[in-house]
Structure 1
Amino acid sequence: MSSVFSPPWWAKSAHIQTILPSLTRVLSPLLKRERLELPDQDFIDLDWLSTPIDNQPIILMFHGLEGSADSHYIKRLFLACQSMGHCALIHHHRGCSGELNRLPRGYHSGDTEDVQISLQHLKQHFPNNPIFAVGYSLGGNVLTKYLGEQKENSLIERAVVVSAPLQLAACAKKLEKGFSKIYQSYLIKLLQQKVIDKMEKMALDKYIPVTKHQIKNLTTFHGFDHQITAPLHGFNGVDDYYRQASGLPFLAHITKPTLVIHAKDDPFMTEDVIPGPAQLSPHVSYELHKQGGHLGFIEGGSPWHPRFYLERRILDFLFPTSPSTETDNNQC
């Protein structure tokens, strides 16, 4: 399949590309939940589409900020996998599977420890099944960081990263400007409510320097990450968190075939997330499309029944017919 993406005339806007998919009804596939108990007494939930057979590849998905198995992009890939007979599951970040996690900490953009636990679990139970991975937005940044950290020790054989905020500081600033503030406001309210819900069940005052009332005043990612995310996860403030967790520096160290897909008009990002040639490992294929928004990439159909590029492109890369698709760095 061609890696050229072209939106229809009615979906040229980055905001239509970003918002419409979340408003489009997508069927929910029947999933089976598996709970993993973690070494620190917390848990994460895996939702399975099917159990793998023989040497069948396992497709492991990582959702974006406050996403889940109910996210439109996750459901679409599940349905595409189902129609093609692929085995797939989703790794829920802590607290994102419909139930608050047990500990004060949650998840963050560089949280690769839980990723490794899920992967080791899969390898232990299905040692002969190769693992493919797909990461969206925050989950894509986490996946990028994991692949670059682990290098040849990665338990993932092939990967696709979509709309990842690979330079967190720049993305946080972008979301404070113009229409992008709408997305920030929506996501921040979800994060605020989750912290408030936790405060009602456990003592957080020794971990974060704010009260329940003050949380409502943390209306930017920069402020929220400085007062909540960083201290909860052992970082020395927001700048330290953004520096350590951003995926961009890890692209050069990836040793497994990986496709990274970005849209130049993504309202969550700036050109700071776009890697230069020297920042890309030879094993990374990079697609920068002029349009597509954030996790959008509507390529046809109608506003009532849009057709999407991502699922076809992801599965085409994970199951290539030619090895030449692995090392193309495209500016589309």
Structure 2
Amino acid sequence: MPVLHNSDYQAPFLLQNRHMLTIYPSLFRSIRPAAYRRERITTPDGDFLDLDFSERGSSRLVVILHGLEGNASRKYVLGMVHIFNGAGFDTVSMNFRGCSGEPNKNLRFYHSGETEDLHAVIGYLVSLKKYTAIHLVGFSLGGNVTLKYLGERGATVDGTIRSAVAISVPCDLKSGSAELEKRHNIIYMQRFIRDLGEKLRLKALQFPGSINLDHYAEVRSFRQFDDRYTAPMHGFKDALTYWEQCSSRPLLPDIRIPVLVINAKDDPFLGKECYPYEIAAGSKYVFLETPHQGGHVGFVRFGEDFYWSEKRALAFIQQM
């Protein structure tokens, strides 16, 4: 039932190409910074997470999770902060380990299926006894983490968590990784590999002898990167094992709060397995909306303060 077939997003006339929709926001969108108040919390393994709050004195909170190599200052995060603040919600933008401007303490950092840090954040927020309703919004990798967390928790999820929105989600990591290896995505892949390499170099300085960066320039794909670094650093046998165990798609049937998944059909990062139509059709909780256009975290609107995805997320959460 919750497959939403009649999405009303239409790309601007000048941005009909999926790559233009993907790239335009990061290069050309003008958006003011958020008035963040930062808190640092300690994780159970002795590391830390930096949380950026933007508060309106509300009892309703939206937790925002960024994408791969993002952070709380990314434009797509700020757009969500501003639209929800304007509607009277508090927000907190979670920076994954090593993404807040300072390397984290431990050898491992973050990955597409790491949900214990989100659980620690939720536990901290609930302990404040300040919020009667908490909602989650995740982008790309952060969307997969959001959905995986809710699927893992199922009916045991904290009752304060009421709904979630996940945008441009590679819910099948193998499919998404294969799509990004295609020639038309070479610019994105090169950038990801470059940025992740910088993070690894910092780790190598922190932990001499623990990370082998010899021939790193030969790494060309997520499969190579995950086989060589992500999997061994986080306790997985290899890239395939990591992708299988960390994809949110198999856990979607276990979600027990309303969630909206927005994946554009022209998203250059997503393979066909990232569109879980059959799961959504058989679920009371997973709503799937697949606009024909939107690119990856695109959904640009000209002449308006907010993008379509931001208005859609707000409308869904308000409805819930």
Whether 1:151 aligns to 2:154 is yes
Q: Give the deviation of 1:300 after TM superposition.
A: 3.4
Aligned residues: 311
Offset from partner CA, 1:97-142 (integer Å, 9 cap, x none): 0110011101010001001000000001126521100000000000
Q: 1:198 to 1:292 in 2, by over 3 A?
A: same
Task: Give how far 1:173 is off.
Answer: 1.1
TM-score (norm 2): 0.93
TM-score computed with the length of structure 1 as normaliser: 0.90
- Whether the 8 Å contact between 1:52 and 1:58 is mirrored in structure 2 is no
Letter paired with 1:245: C
Given candidates 131, 135, 141, the residue that maps to 2:134 is 131
In 2, are the aligned partners of 1:264 and 1:289 still within 8 Å (CA)?
Answer: yes
**CA distance, structure 2, for counterparts of residue 33 and residue 242 of structure 1:** 32
Give the drift of 1:214.
2.5
Conserved 8 A contact 2:7-2:291: no
- Which one scores higher on RCO, CA 8 angstroms, separation ≥ 6? 2
1:49-88 → structure 2 map (5 Å cutoff)? 49-50=54-55, 52-53=57-58, 56-88=59-91
Amino acid at match of 2:77: I
Residue segments in structure 2 that go unaligned for 5+ positions in a row: 1-5
Matches within 5 A, 1:180-329: 180-205=185-210, 208=211, 211-278=212-279, 281-301=283-303, 308-320=307-319
State the Cα RMSD in Å.
Answer: 1.7
Residues 164-211 of structure 1 deviation map (CA, whole Å, 9 limit, x = unaligned): 101111111111112211111111100011001111122352xx5xx2
Q: 1:9 to 1:128 in 2, by over 3 A?
A: closer
Where 2:96 maps in the other structure, the secondary structure is coil
Aligned to 1:326: none
Q: Residue in 2 aligned with 1:28? A: 33
Q: 2:3 maps to which residue?
A: none
Q: Percent identical across equivalent pairs? A: 36
Change in CA separation of 1:307 and 1:81 when aligned onto 2, cut-off 3 Å:
closer
1:170-189 equivalences under 5 Å are 170-189=175-194
Runs of 4+ in 1 over 6 A off after TM superposition: none
Structure 1, residues 211-239: CA drift from partner, whole Å, max 9, x if none?
22322322211100111001111111111
**Which of 169, 173, 177 is 2:174 aligned to?**
169
Question: How far did 1:52 drift?
Answer: 4.2
Whether the 8 Å contact between 2:83 and 2:306 is mirrored in structure 1 is no
AA of the residue aligned to 1:45: D
Contact between 2:61 and 2:131, CA under 8 Å: does it hold in 1?
no
